[in-house]
Amino acid sequence: MLYSSIKDKLISEGISVKEKVSGALLSTFGSGGIIEYLAEPLTVDQLKITLSAIKPLPCPIIGGGSNTLIADGGLPFAVSIRRLSSITVSNNCMECSAGSRVQTIAALAENSCLSGAEFLCGIPGTFGGAVCLNAGAFGREFKDILVSVTLLENNALVKYTPQQLCMEYRNGNIGDRIVVGGAIRLEEGSAQDIRKRTLENKEYRSRTQPIERSLGSVFKRVDGQSAAVYIEQTGLKGIIVGGAQLSTRHCNFIVNRGGAKSVDYIAIADLVSNAVKTQGIDLEMENNLLGYE
């Protein structure tokens, strides 16, 4: 009844709230239980109203879902920032709102003959998620092109530089604050050269990473070494639990073979983690787990 009254309040404020949304639609792995109420603010002001209405109850924020595993038991309430999506280009800078898709940012940079975002091609998810995770590929990280990040902090907007946040490998050090937008700076470049690097990156991804639904890399690097090096030695590559499988193409990916549940994903991750631990290595998951204690 409590969440129902919150839904009514938000709707009265003109904020869209959907009921009984399948978590599978909000995660690129394609699993997850029912989200009873999903708020979809269109503006930062609507986001503020939403978070104030739900406080102090837990309120998971869901972006592109490319790194998010939603429990099979679902969630009572969540907020999607997908509709907070806008990108503007001015000289060498791109201002992006939190829900802007990373691949759209990379494509727009290419079309604007701006170099430096080629490593983003093929990375799913949103600007907000890329900041939170400090997403990276091909030896580069999001903080390398990031100029500023605007966070919602105690219901106020506060701007930070990547240096102030002390962003590090796969960690934007955002804490419980919420990314609402920010800016990246690129360099003018040759359209031909940018296109060439983009195509090379895309070809490498298609050759080395699985095409099935996944959440990308499951585990972080260990002292600069890919987790796949340790996972390969466990002999678990290709193992199947339910509808999920440890990819035969890249063993740091868990893929959905069809009908996989979140519990299948967790089961494989636990098997891998425990097996690698016998090598004296502790693996840390990259994924954001929602609905788990």
Tell me the DSSP string of 125-158: SBHHHHHHHT-EETTEEGGGTEEEEEEEETTEEE
CA angle 81, 40, 23 (to 5 degrees): 80
User: Is the distance from CB of 218 to CB of 238 less than 8 angstroms?
Assistant: no
Separation of first and last alpha carbons in the chain = 23
Rounded to whole angstroms, the Cα distance separating 246 from 253 reads 6
Question: What's the chain's length in residues?
Answer: 293
Strand partners, 181: 97, 150
Judge whether 170 counts as a catalytic residue: yes
Pick the catalytic residue: 170, 197, 214, 262? 170
The 3-class secondary structure across 41-58, one letter per residue, is: CCCHHHHHHHHHHHCCCC
Judge whether 140 counts as a catalytic residue: no
Angstrom distances, CA of residue 38 to CA of 3, 19, 25, 60, 172 = 11, 6, 12, 10, 25
User: Is the distance from CB of 163 to CB of 138 less than 8 angstroms?
Assistant: no
Pick the catalytic residue: 66, 112, 217, 247? 217
Residues 6+ apart with CB under 8 A from 207: none
Shortest CA distance to 52 belongs to which of 135, 169, 152? 152
- DSSP 8-state assignment for residue 219: B
Rounded to whole angstroms, the Cα distance separating 275 from 279 reads 8
- The amino acid that residue 158 corresponds to is V
2-12 vs 44-54: helix axis angle to the nearest 10? 150
**Catalytically active residues, by annotation:** 170, 217, 286
